[in-house]
Amino acid sequence: MHVCRTMSAAARRRPGTGLPYLVISGLLWGTGGLTGSLLGRTAGLSAISVAAYRLTIGGVLIVAFLAATGRRRPAGRAAWTRIAVIGLLAAEYQGCYFTAVSLTSVPLATLVTIGTAPVIVLGAERVTGRGAGRLAVAAAGLALIGLGLLVGLPSGFGQTAVLASAGMAVLAAAGFAAVTLTGSRPVPGLDEAAVTGFGFTVGGLALMPLAAAFGGLGFRPDPAALGLLLALGTGPTAVAYTLYFRGLRTAAASTAALLALLEPLTGTILSAFILGERLSATGIAGAAILALAVILAVRAGRDDPRPANAAIVGLLTELYRGR
């Protein structure tokens, strides 16, 4: 019976099983930029204040759901250490990203953050002896080209502002990469909903003082603002990150970081249809290259044997122990 349960676990960890979760999370993230932008305009909040509210509301919604369904709170030092690490890393990369936005623009911050994160993850995997395949490396290269064409180069900003913004965006990318690498090593007994809910609540509360100091947290709670805040905290935050951590259980960290490319791609498409923003020929070419990078990332994730190998090793270990 124990061996059967282990074999079932091995089946659940076969390559590619986490890809749908990662794809859905990337698509949901793409709605976050538009929703957050509308919230900022409607409520008169700064970008970093929107980020603080986003993490806090998303985390609190999950914690409330867990409490309403009778789920037990996480227990043990390892679980709470992971929650604290995820929360602080989320606060770090959200804070750095929106600081980069405030220094220059959303396109530049997005280009550097989303483009650099997969490179950091690929480098970390290579250093630890878990180097990714050629498809993942090719996808990362295409991603940088596609993002550059899609968002364009910054204009109208001083050299100091561009360098400072790029530096903050690299720090944001490092934070997101750290979240991805950390989340790819689950803690026994700690599920995705708990780590997202409690972790983001911690991260949001940690970001609140910074947001209050540099942007202010006060706004008029009219129905439109509250609706946008709830939408931002639900889809692109609570649901998206829970699915992302779920996908990390069976997919390589490099694949997960690459599939985050769906965020700028989805955001661009939504802006074109909803806000009427038109893409230039260069932007359309960038979107096409970015879509190709996503396809290669999915293919690389399906071909990655590491999750299956881990499951097989676990099965053999159980068989050895039970002989």
Is residue 53 a contact partner of residue 287, using CB atoms and an 8 Å limit? no
pLDDT at 5: 40
Q: How confident is the model at residue 186 (pLDDT cuts 50, 70, 90)?
A: confident
Is residue 118 a contact partner of residue 254, using CB atoms and an 8 Å limit? yes
pLDDT at 140: 73
Amino acid identity of 323? R
Q: How confident is the model at residue 131 (pLDDT cuts 50, 70, 90)?
A: low
Instruction: Decide which of 267 and 239 is more confident.
Output: 239
Cα three-residue angle 145-147-151, rounded to 5 degrees: 125
pLDDT of residue 206 exceeding 90: yes
Is residue 274 a contact partner of residue 31, using CB atoms and an 8 Å limit? no
pLDDT of residue 309 exceeding 70: no
Is residue 298 a contact partner of residue 133, using CB atoms and an 8 Å limit? no
Closest of 287, 290, 268 to residue 277, by C-alpha = 268
pLDDT of residue 275 exceeding 90: no
pLDDT of residue 80 exceeding 50: yes
pLDDT at 165: 85
Q: How far apart are CA 116 and CA 78, in angstroms?
A: 29
Is residue 291 a contact partner of residue 30, using CB atoms and an 8 Å limit? no
b/e per residue 182-219 (b: at least 16 CB within 10 A): bbbebbeebbbbbbbbbbbbbbbbbbbebbeeebeeeb
- Any idea which of 13-17, 73-77, 89-93, 210-214 has the lowest mean pLDDT? 13-17
Q: How far apart are CA 166 and CA 111, in angstroms?
A: 9
Instruction: Decide which of 197 and 303 is more confident.
Output: 197
The angle, 0 to 180 degrees and rounded to 10, between the axes of the packed helices 192-214 and 47-68 is: 150
Joined together, the tokens standing for residue 184 give 């790819």
Joined together, the tokens standing for residue 18 give 């986490």
Q: How far apart are CA 191 and CA 137, in angstroms?
A: 30
pLDDT of residue 201 exceeding 50: yes
Q: The dihedral of CA 242, 117, 310, 27: what is its sign?
A: positive
Q: Which residue has the tokens 């509360």?
A: 205
Q: How confident is the model at residue 320 (pLDDT cuts 50, 70, 90)?
A: very low
How does DSSP classify residue 120? Answer: H
pLDDT more than 70, % of the chain: 81
Q: How confident is the model at residue 301 (pLDDT cuts 50, 70, 90)?
A: low
pLDDT at 322: 40
- 210 Cβ contact partners less than 8 Å away, ≥ 6 residues apart: 48, 52, 95
Cα distances (Å, whole numbers) of residue 85 to 138, 199, 203: 31, 8, 9
Q: How confident is the model at residue 171 (pLDDT cuts 50, 70, 90)?
A: very high
The helix or strand, by DSSP H or E, that contains position 319, with its residue range, turns out to be: helix 306-321
Most confident of 119-123, 166-170, 230-234, 272-276: 230-234
50-64 confidence digits (pLDDT tens): 999 999 999 999 999
Joined together, the tokens standing for residue 281 give 């020929």
